[in-house]
């Protein structure tokens, strides 16, 4: 019932195999890589913590806390946007998560609450990663727990209605193709994910966010690649460690972060972030919150990014905008 029935568009052959997905990850992601804690981390940072590693792969130097080198703009390869400059606006941040970004008074804080169990979150995540090169925004990724949001709001996964589930699978395939994100539907989605929960993965991502924020983006992406591109497990410790390794986290550090996932600090942080999403009115994911003139605007899903642009005074250029020079 949940299997796609083929009417939707198919991913181009260049993106539809694990090897191609691997190629996508290697070639595409580093250029949109995390650029430090102001970019992607949620909540306050522990004072004085040390960042002991940086994401591996080509371009990894770009994503350290200090290095903000540049790349040639306008590069393209294989139809995927690879271009961009890694220089970024880094607006001052006021206290508290709802604080308004204010770099030259123009950059707006945009937060995205997500869970790697959500494929639409992946789509929104990649597109927002691209738009931080085009829009004057301070982008913050906020790992939260979708299960908690659904439980608190009494919402049901759309896939619980059979016709809706059938549509959703086609819709995800079409959106993924158009958004140029290598999503593949898992063979047994209910079995592999919904019955087991993403809680362990999200606690791990939270531990990363708390202590190694420069890895938040690549680790999240690698977990999405596992579940939503290669149909691999994300519930077991070895699966999570494998994703961390793919993201470039040194093995010893990944083990340490995995151990952290059972601490109250990490569990509470994930709860707090989930509660914050609920406070903004979230009932599903992704939940994108734009802060404009002291007001928080919630957008649900990855299909309101054009509207988000309108609300923050920026122009939508489609899901794969050509990179532009930062306007800082």
263 counts as binding a copy of itself under rule CB under 8 A: no
Which CA distances in Å does 169 have to 9, 52, 268?
Answer: 11, 40, 33
Question: Which span (82-90, 117-125, 208-216, 274-282) binds a copy of itself, by CB under 8 A?
Answer: 274-282
155 counts as binding a copy of itself under rule CB under 8 A: yes
Number of residues this chain uses to bind a copy of itself (CB under 8 A): 37
Asked whether 148 and 310 are in contact (CB, 8 A), the reply is no
Taking the least distance from each CB to a copy of itself, the nearer of 111 and 222 is 111
How far is it, in rounded angstroms, from Cα 21 to Cα 122? 14
- Enter the DSSP assignment of 297: E
Q: Which of 77, 263, 310, 327 binds a copy of itself (CB under 8 A)?
A: 310
The C-alpha angle with vertex 45 and arms to 128 and 35, in degrees rounded to 5, equals 35
For the CB of residue 11, give the shortest distance to a copy of itself in the complex, in Å: 14
190 counts as binding a copy of itself under rule CB under 8 A: no
Residue 238 tokens read as 């070895």
96 counts as binding a copy of itself under rule CB under 8 A: no
163 counts as binding a copy of itself under rule CB under 8 A: yes
275 counts as binding a copy of itself under rule CB under 8 A: no
79 counts as binding a copy of itself under rule CB under 8 A: no
Which CA distances in Å does 227 have to 108, 147, 187?
Answer: 32, 16, 10
The secondary structure of 86-140 as a DSSP string is ---------SSTTPPP-STTT-EEEEEEE-TT-HHHHHHHHHHHHHTTTS-EEEE
159 counts as binding a copy of itself under rule CB under 8 A: no
The interface mask with a copy of itself, positions 276-295, x = CB under 8 A, is --x--xxxx----------x
């Amino acid at each position: 019932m949940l299997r796609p029935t083929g009417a939707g568009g198919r991913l181009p052959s260049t993106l539809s195999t694990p090897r191609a997905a691997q190629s996508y990850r290697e070639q595409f992601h580093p250029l949109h890589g995390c650029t430090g804690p102001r970019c992607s981390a949620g909540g306050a940072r522990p004072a004085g913590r040390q960042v002991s590693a940086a994401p591996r792969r080509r371009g990894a130097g770009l994503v350290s806390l200090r290095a903000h080198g540049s790349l040639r703009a306008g590069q393209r390869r294989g139809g995927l946007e690879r271009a961009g400059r890694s220089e970024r606006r880094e607006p001052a941040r006021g206290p508290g998560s709802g604080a308004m970004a204010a770099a030259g008074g123009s950059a707006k804080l945009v937060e995205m609450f997500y869970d790697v169990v959500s494929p639409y979150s992946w789509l929104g995540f990649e597109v927002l990663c691209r738009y931080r090169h085009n829009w004057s925004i301070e982008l913050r990724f906020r790992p939260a727990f979708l299960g908690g949001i659904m439980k608190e709001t009494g919402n049901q996964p759309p896939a619980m209605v059979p016709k809706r589930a059938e549509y959703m699978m086609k819709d995800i395939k079409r959106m993924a193709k158009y958004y140029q994100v290598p999503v593949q539907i898992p063979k047994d989605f209910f079995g592999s994910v919904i019955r087991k929960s993403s809680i362990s993965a999200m606690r791990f991502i939270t531990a990363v966010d708390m202590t190694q924020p420069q890895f938040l983006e690549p680790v999240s992406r690698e977990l999405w690649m596992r579940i939503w591109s290669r149909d691999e497990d994300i519930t077991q410790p070895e699966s999570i460690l494998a994703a961390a390794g793919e993201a470039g986290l040194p093995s010893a550090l990944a083990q340490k972060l995995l151990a952290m996932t059972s601490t109250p600090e990490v569990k509470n942080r994930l709860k707090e972030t989930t509660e914050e999403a609920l406070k903004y009115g979230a009932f599903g994911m992704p939940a994108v919150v734009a802060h404009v003139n002291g007001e928080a605007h919630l957008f649900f899903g990855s299909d309101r990014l054009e509207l988000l642009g309108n609300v923050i005074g920026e122009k939508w250029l489609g899901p794969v905008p050509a990179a532009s020079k930062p306007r800082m």
